[in-house]
Amino acid sequence: MSATEQALATGDAVPLSLRGPASTGVVAGYGFWLFLLSDIVIFAALFASYAVLSGETAGGPTAAALFDKKHVLIETACLLASSVTCGFGSLAVQSGEKGSTYFWMTVTFILGVAFLSLEVSEFSHMLGMGAGPSRSAFLSAFFTLVGTHGLHVTLGLCWLIVMLLQVATLGFQPMVSRRFFCFGLFWHALDIVWIGVFTIVYLGAHL
Amino acid sequence: MSAEIEAQGKAPGVNVHTHGSRGSYLIGLGYAILLTLASFWASSTDVIYPHGVPILLGVLAIAQMGIHLVFFLHISSAPDQTNNILALVFGIFVVGLLVFGSMIIMAHLNHNMMPMDRLMQMQR
């Protein structure tokens, strides 16, 4: 037995070059992680444009006059709670429990819908008082940044429905678990972006 | 997770140490609630020197992002997470360049721009 074969047999100290390709789970997770980071770079560009334009109100309503802190606190609570229930759901997927997967992921979905409806009501209220995206550069930047986040949440909810249907029809096949796992990463990343949104847009408005 | 995956690094978000437990999510939730309430309090209080509030808000936000990364996405400094950490560091680098670079350049341009009424006069 050669030294290499011995090392492979004991499993210890196998050189990286001899370990072969990583498993599909690792490759998929890492690839999705890279996608999430590039998505966060998109948000960084939108944050930068908001930071530059937040003072350019063109005589229209200012940030301090438009945003209600209590509303934002409820939105934040919904998203944070949905992040945790999504984590519980991912644990249920890992251990293959169908019932608790459905339960936690449905709770996640409901909290996500609650967040979205709060955001839509805020947007329609603003549009109703003439503070739409065409009013000033500040409002264009605001609707682009917060709207892009809301669009991500909407797509995440659609994805969640598809995943629940896949669990119902295909069961916990490795491919379904992998996709569910990526969904969890996506949902947690959206919550991280929301921290930036409520700090810079909503709390920054009242300084 | 199988030994095979352990040997080849880990994808982000795979919770190995507390596999099947909800502990890490609950700890993360506790910290996140604390930090969120702290930043909402800090933005409306008179106790803190007003010019210090934006810095405090920034610190609280970055701390909460860290909490989310560690307790929800399970990013750690373990050797099998080197790839994830390297990608994350590069992402943070690009985000920093974009945000602070844009703000510095635009503030500088704004500072050096001729006042609008003077500009209008010259065009006449």
pTM of the predicted protein model: 0.86
| Same domain flag for B60 and B2 | yes
The predicted structure's pLDDT at residue A185 = 94
Helix (H) or strand (E) holding A17: none
Name residues whose C-beta falls within 8 Å of residue A73's C-beta, 6 or more positions apart in sequence: B36, B40
Nearest C-alpha of chain A: how many angstroms from B106? 7
Token output for B42: 């800090």
For residues B3 and B62, membership in a common domain is answered with: yes
- Contact A195/A161 with Cβ under 8 angstroms? no
Which range of residues forms the domain containing residue B24? 1-76
Asked if A93 and A177 touch (Cβ cutoff 8 Å), the reply is yes
B52 and B87 together in one domain: no
Same domain, B94 and B42: no
In chain A, domain spans: 24-206
Instruction: Please state at what angle helix A69-94 crosses helix B23-44, rounded to 10 degrees.
Output: 170
Domain identity same for B16 and B35: yes
**Tokens matching residue B121:** 């006069």
Residue with tokens 């009242």: A206
Nearest CA among A200, A53, A79 for reference residue B43: A200
Residue B71 sits in the same domain as residue B86? no
Whether residues B60 and B94 fall in one domain? no
Nearest CA to B64 out of A195, A190, A33 is that of A195
Residues A144-187 have pLDDT tens digits of 999 999 999 999 999 999 999 999 999 999 999 999 999 999 99
Report the C-alpha gap between A14 and A22 in whole angstroms: 14
Which of A19, A90, A184 is closest, CB to CB, to B8? A19
| A206 and chain B in contact, CB less than 8 A | yes
What angle separates helix A174-197 from helix B53-67, to the nearest 10 degrees?
Answer: 170
Distance CA A202, CA B11 (A): 34
Q: Are residues B61 and B113 located together in one domain of the fold?
A: no
User: B87 and B10 in contact (C-beta within 8 Å)?
Assistant: no
Do residues B72 and B105 both lie within one domain?
Answer: no
Identify whether residues B3 and B41 lie together within a single domain. Answer: yes
Q: Does B72 contact chain A (CB < 8 Å)? A: yes
Say yes or no for a CB contact (<8 Å) between A23 and B69.
Answer: no
CB proximity under 8 Å: A 28-57 to B: 28-30, 33-34, 37-38, 40-41, 44-45, 47-49, 51-52
Q: Which long-range contacts (CB under 8 A, 24 or more apart) does A13-19 make?
A: A14/B7, A19/B7, A19/B8
Count structural domains, chain B. 2
Considering only the C-alpha atoms of chain A, give the largest distance between any 2 of them, rounded to a whole number of Å.
82
The one-letter amino acid at A191:
D
DSSP A83: H
Give the mean pLDDT of chain B: 84
Asked if residue B86 and residue B65 are part of one domain, the reply reads no
Which pLDDT tens digit goes with each residue over B69-105? 999 998 888 777 888 999 999 999 999 999 999 999 9
pLDDT band at A58 (very low <50, low <70, confident <90, very high): confident
> For domain A24-206, is the CATH number 1.20.120.80?
yes
Q: Distance from A164 to chain B by nearest Cα, in Å?
A: 20
CB atoms within 10 A of CB A166: 16
Mutating which of B2, B39, B98, B109 best tests the A interface, going by the most A Cβ atoms within 10 A?
A: B98
B60 and B5 in one domain? yes
> In this complex, is the C-beta atom of A196 within 8 Å of any C-beta atom belonging to chain B?
yes
State mean pLDDT over B97-124: 85
